[in-house]
Every structure is written in C-alpha cells, then in structure tokens.
C-alpha cells in the first residue's frame, strides 16, 4: 500500500489521535496545509478505498481511525528509499550523510548508544 504525501498528512493526524471526524481533522490540518474541508474529505475517501483507514458511523457522520500503523508505513517507506538509493542497505546512507557532514555530534551519540544497546541484547 502506497501512501501519498498529501494522504500522509492526514495519516499523521490520525496516528497522533483517533478516532476523529472529518471536521476535526480539517480543523487540525487547516493551519499546516490550508486545505478546505472538501479536500480533507476527498483524501479520507481515497484512504478508505485503499484500506489505510477505517470509518465507524456515529450519528450523522463518521469517526475515522488508522487502519495501518505508522510503524508499518515507515518500514515500507524506509525499505523503498534505501532500495532506490543505497542498494537496500543502511550503512551506505550513514556513510553518505557523514561524508557530507549531515550528522551532528548529538546524533552521532544517539546512534552510538543505539548500537551499543543492540549489541548488548544480542
């Protein structure tokens, strides 16, 4: 399942807090996107059709909830990205970013800590 960029903004909202009505979502997104209600609703329908969200009828309207986890989406996107540019591997990305000074010392520390954890638990 491929989530587009506009759809992703809706999903982020839902992952953050759900269920939510289309009106609530439109309000929450208004600021960041400037989208009209109709836009939000159209995107919700596309997400429904591809099974990325679920809708539960409540009175006059619906409550929407994510149908896929953010974790899963992130995994898919990461695999796609790494496959495209780095032969599917993480190390070359780290190498690239470090070559281009795109990693600051704090991040470096974080990653080092992560790796230590990984080693310990293995």
Residues that bind DNA (CB under 7 A): 2, 4-7, 21-23, 33-39, 41-43, 45, 59-62
Vertex 75, ends 69 and 79: CA angle to 5°? 155
Q: Which is nearer to DNA, 4 or 17 (CB)?
A: 4
CA dist 7 and 9 (Å) reads 5
Q: Which does 19 bind (CB under 5 to 8 A by kind): DNA, its own copies, none?
A: none
Q: Which does 42 bind (CB under 5 to 8 A by kind): DNA, its own copies, none?
A: DNA
- Yes or no: say if 23 and 63 are a contact pair by the CB < 8 Å rule: no
Q: Is 90 exposed, middle or buried (0-12, 13-18, 19+ CB in 10 A)?
A: exposed
Q: Which is nearer to its own copies, 42 or 114 (CB)?
A: 114
Q: Using the rule CB under 8 A, is 58 a contact of its own copies? A: no
């Amino acid at each position: 399942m491929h989530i587009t960029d506009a759809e992703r903004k809706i999903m982020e909202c839902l992952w953050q807090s759900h269920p939510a009505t289309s009106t609530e979502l439109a309000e929450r997104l208004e600021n960041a996107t400037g989208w009209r209600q109709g836009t939000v609703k159209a995107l919700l329908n596309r997400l429904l059709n591809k099974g990325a969200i679920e809708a539960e009828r409540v009175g006059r309207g619906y409550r929407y909830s994510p149908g896929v986890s953010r974790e899963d989406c992130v995994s898919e996107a990461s695999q796609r990205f790494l496959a495209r540019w780095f032969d599917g591997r993480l190390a070359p990305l780290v190498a690239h970013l470090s070559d281009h000074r795109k990693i600051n010392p704090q991040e470096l520390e974080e990653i080092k800590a992560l790796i230590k954890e990984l080693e310990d638990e293995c």
